[in-house]
Amino acid sequence: LATLMTWKTALVDIPYGGGKGGIGINPSDYSKVELERISRKFFRAIDPIIGVNIDIPAPDVNTNAQVMSWFMDEYSQIHGYTPGIVTGKPLELGGSEGREAATGRGTAIITREAAEKWNIGLKGAKVVVQGFGNVGSYAAKFLYEYGCKIIGVSDISGGLYAPDGFDVEELFSYNYENRTIDGYQYGKKITNEELLALECDFLIPAALGSAINEGNVGSLNCKIIIEAANGPVTGEAADKLWKKKIAIIPDILTNAGGVTVSYFEWVQNLQQFKWPEDEINQKLEQKMVAAFNEVYAVKQNKNVPMRIASFMVAIDRVSTAYNLREG
């Protein structure tokens, strides 16, 4: 994951490296007070190896703006008020407009760009979203606004299928309030395996890694896979999909919206100045579209999958930077 982060930040051309770390627990087993104590202990332990120009953590699986608040507060108690030490904070504590929706928004932008290049009409395009957490729910919301038909969604409780499409605004609100799609009144209940096998234009795995693997890749019935999670398609499955001419838009491109707006948040913290949401969304769109076009040009030029093209662009950028620094 740390390595993927290096290539992701290079791909969207922002001045970050790659790092990942966390605590190996299930947060639902603990009270809020216990989570705060565990979090603060962890943050104090890593204090010597982080800094606004060294390593800037951000939220990921099972963490949120509240956890980032504790992080900033713990660091600031030692070093003085330092909002730029962490991103994904609440707006009131120096967070950025648009951060919560950023990864999902970026995913929707990349899906829109892929639709154009693969000649798939976005209006009425059938979309299946595996994982209806922060990324999947926002991606579905923005694609619905683009005119797509979201026909299948799932979370840890199972899947729902509506051949004529969901009212995503209503589903989004239900999920936001209940933190699950379980109990939503519309749609037929289906298993995760059935969800992945639905006939659709875009399949968006937005849950955890290795969701599409050798065991289920044969049952897929989509035109393009949009990797919104980190590493949702295994290498073996990717090889088979390339042979079947099912395109994969890779994670380091698709879900780079989150780290891009984290970068914007960091820049705003350093400047002690806030940008309006429409400006952030506009800057995010520019970054995502530029990265997509760069990767697509390499894909066409070298006749390689989008995943390989993404790594070619990113590795070349890091290599060039190394060479320039070493002289």
Residues assigned a catalytic role: 20
Q: In what helix (H) or strand (E) does residue 305 lie, and over which residues does it extend? A: none
Distance CA 302, CA 284 (A): 27
What would you report as the CA-atom Rg of the chain, rounded to the nearest whole angstrom? 20
Please, which residues bridge with residue 153 across strands?
Answer: 129, 160
